Amino acid sequence: VLLQAILSGLAIGSIYALIAQGYYVTHVTTNTLNMGQGDFLMLGALLGVTLYTSGVPLVFVIAAVIALMLLVGIGLEQIAIRPLKTAMSIGWIMSTVAVSLVVRNGAALIWGRNIRQFPPPFGQKIIRFFGAGIQPQEIFVFAVAIAAMLLLVLFLKKSMLGKALMAVAFSPDAAALMGINVRRMYWLSYAISTALAGLGGVLVAPITNTGAYMGGLLGLKAFAAAILGGLGEPFGILLGGLVLGVTEMLVANVNSALKDSSAFILILAILAIRPTGLFGKVISQKV
Amino acid sequence: MRKNAKLRLGSVLVVLMAFLAACGGGATAPSTPAGGGTSAPAADKTPIVIGWSNSLSGGTSDYGEASKNATEMALEDYKAKGGKYADRVKIVYYDDEAKPDKSVENINRLIQQDKAVILIGTTNSGNALGHIQIVQQSKIPEIISIATNTTITQKFAGEPKNYIFRTSMFDRNQVLTFVDTMVNNGFKKIAILHDTSGYGVGGKDDVVARLKELKITPIIIESFQTGDTDMTAQLRKAKDAGADALATYALAPELANVVKSADKIGWYPKVFGSWTLSQPLFMKLLGKDIANKFEIYMVQSFTIDQSPAAKEFHDKLMKKYGKDEFPIAAAQSYDSTMMALKALDKVGPDPEKLRDAIENQDDFVGVTSIGKKPYSKDNHEAIPREVMFLATYTKDGAIVKSNFK
């Protein structure tokens, strides 16, 4: 019983973590968050369903969705973040929520309000593992999500572009003086963020109900995962997502009605004890 | 300066929105006095409106779509047969998006603006419960063709005139049908699995109450929420408790996930439930491969092979729309519309007379199992317990009568 909960929890938790990395990327570079990550996940999922059901092979579906979502991210930054950076300090909260509402209702117009089925690309054969069942898709989700996160961290820490991003995060003014195009870094971070959400969407589509309104709760849980792990810590976020996913499933074992609220109760508890998240650095502020 | 420009733009937007809201509000107010009471001279060409509000989008859209097609066809048949008001009857269709507030809005609009003399409608019980108060107060009859919540027709049963009729199978009788069949066939270790919506909770209460009457305690009762995808935890508990059959009460998307989750933990109990298990979306989301590993039984009162009239109806729908994915929802809506049109021919476009005509009719012939005299003052349910039965899926996903008695 426990094993089943843990396996199911790891699969869904890795999706939370993947989306949450999107929060991380924009947080460290621009100090803003895309509050509508869930709806960009939905967009990725619906694009994925459309492409996949029209016969495009899975690999190309994933590639196409990531490419499209990179463009969407650039657009988002241009529309919702840049114009407001100087106008209002927290205007981006409203503007990203607004864009996500537009995306959600636009999707409802294009794809309808109904739930769609993403045909499972790896069949529906259940793999038995010490009495617990797991779908091939869930293993795939877990593997790809972890791989994507490792690539992201490698990119940020090792590549030139990634280092430039981190430099902007550290100090935009100094970075600009060093010849880094700060504006470009801003939109790059948003492009990465939405691409991660889109990838999450394609991955999660076959194991969930895909529709225009799927994003809200997933986005919120991913946010919880990011807060849980600590917004500035990619590995913390990964663990945060997995902990959240497993906790939910374990709670559902005891009382299924508490499943969704358990995630948020956990956040409240953690934040009360460690305000910077489980793995966040404790910063002692001088007053 | 820039900030100012933004502020100005913002205030313009606010004013614009306020203006639009005011327009929208004004549009729903009646512009002419209600004309329901006027009788119709032959030369009168003013349209007689039948109001239709149902879900063409949302989780129950396959009910709404089937209903709309059948309603359209009923009107065509009426016109083809040269009904008395053939050149004046018009059906106005609104989508309630499976949302109660939208449903209330639609009904208000149909009554006040479109001057509907009779209403046909509604899939979601919550939507029906939300708007029947208005219908009753406006003294407009409504024939519910799909929603099943038991209280819908009973809410105004105590009043001198109840304006709410139904042609679908109400929950209490559905529960009696499948619970009794389960118990009569030796299933005594019953696990109940329901969603936390009004539909699921109401149904669960009915199931528990019936089991209690039969002196059986369900061995476990578990719930899940609308939108949940993984029910392995609940099912695992039911399996460990030793259940041999599953009694479900939920809507199609979650029911598909229940069966998928049972497959995931490798548990194959017999699955029983209300007619939502026959919703086409259920099979679409579940897929035949998994469905064929289970025995799934649901309550029905109509199959396309039950009578020549039913068969003919199915063929006609197939010919006109190329599909009849949800025969029972279509047939009930067709009969509801025909019932409304028949009453109209008898007494003319007067809502109160229409209501009396429907309550007192004794010559109805429909495509479903509705009897000649379906209603009386105390009974506004057209489908009695006797005509409900348990059906199951064939390997090809068609719905047929099951062997259970």
- Chain A nearest-CA residue for B98: A113
Measured CA to CA in angstroms, residue A133 lies from A107, A251, B230, B236, B377 at distances of 34, 19, 12, 11, 55
Higher-scoring residue by pLDDT: B157, A207: B157
CB atoms within 10 A of CB B267: 18
**Contact check, Cβ <8 Å, B266/A249:** no
Mark residue B173 as left, alpha or beta (left: phi above 0; alpha: psi -120 to 50; beta: remaining). alpha
pLDDT at B21: 47
- Tell me the C-alpha distance between A71 and A187, whole Å: 10
Report the alpha-carbon distance of residue A241 to residue A235 in Å, rounded: 10
Q: How far apart are CA A169 and CA A166, in angstroms?
A: 5
What are the chain A neighbours of B225 within 8 Å (beta carbons)? 257, 259-260
> Sign of the C-alpha dihedral, residues B252, B255, B259, B260?
positive
**Which pLDDT band, with edges at 50, 70 and 90, does B78 fall under?**
very high
Residue A122's pLDDT is 74
Q: What is the mean pLDDT of residues A223-227?
A: 85
Residue B227 to residue A12, Cβ atoms within 8 A: no
- What is the residue whose two structure tokens read 């593997």? A143
Residue of B nearest to A118 (CA): B285
pLDDT of residue B174: 92
**CA of A131, closest CA in chain B: separation in Å?**
8
pLDDT number for residue B24: 41
Report pLDDT digits (tens) over A88-103: 567 777 788 888 888 8
pLDDT in tens, A204-222: 888 877 877 787 888 888 8
Calculate how close chain B gets to A253, using CA atoms only, in Å. Answer: 5
The nearest CA of chain A is from the CA of B315 a distance in Å of 27
Per-residue pLDDT reduced to its tens digit, A143-167: 888 888 888 888 888 888 888 887 8
With cut-offs at 50, 70 and 90, classify the pLDDT of residue A284.
Answer: low
Interface of A with B (CB under 8 A): 1, 4-5, 8, 12, 86-87, 108, 112-115, 117, 124, 126, 128, 132-135, 207-209, 214, 217, 249, 252-253, 256-257, 259-260
- Read off the amino acid at residue B95: D
Digit-coded pLDDT (tens) for A26-46: 887 777 788 888 888 888 888
Record: contact B289-A124, CB cut-off 8 A? yes
DSSP A78: I
Helices (H), B81-226: 100-112, 125-138, 151-154, 171-184, 198-213
Distance from CA of B183 to the nearest CA of A (A): 27
The pLDDT value given to residue B218: 93
Tell me which residue in B57, B225, B289 faces A260 most closely, judged by beta carbons. Answer: B225
More confident residue, A130 or A66: A66
Distance of alpha carbon A14 from alpha carbon A188, whole angstroms: 23
Question: Which residues are paired to B177 by β-bridges?
Answer: none
Say what the pLDDT of residue B27 is. Answer: 38
Asked whether the CA dihedral A17, A19, A22, A27 is positive or negative, the reply is negative
* B139-151: average pLDDT: 92
Name beta bridge partners: B389: B300
Q: Has residue B90 got a pLDDT over 50?
A: yes
Distance separating alpha carbons of residues A170 and B191, to the nearest angstrom: 57
- The DSSP annotation for A180-220 comes to --HHHHHHHHHHHHHHHHHHHHHHHGGGS-BSTTSHHHHHH
DSSP state of A36: T
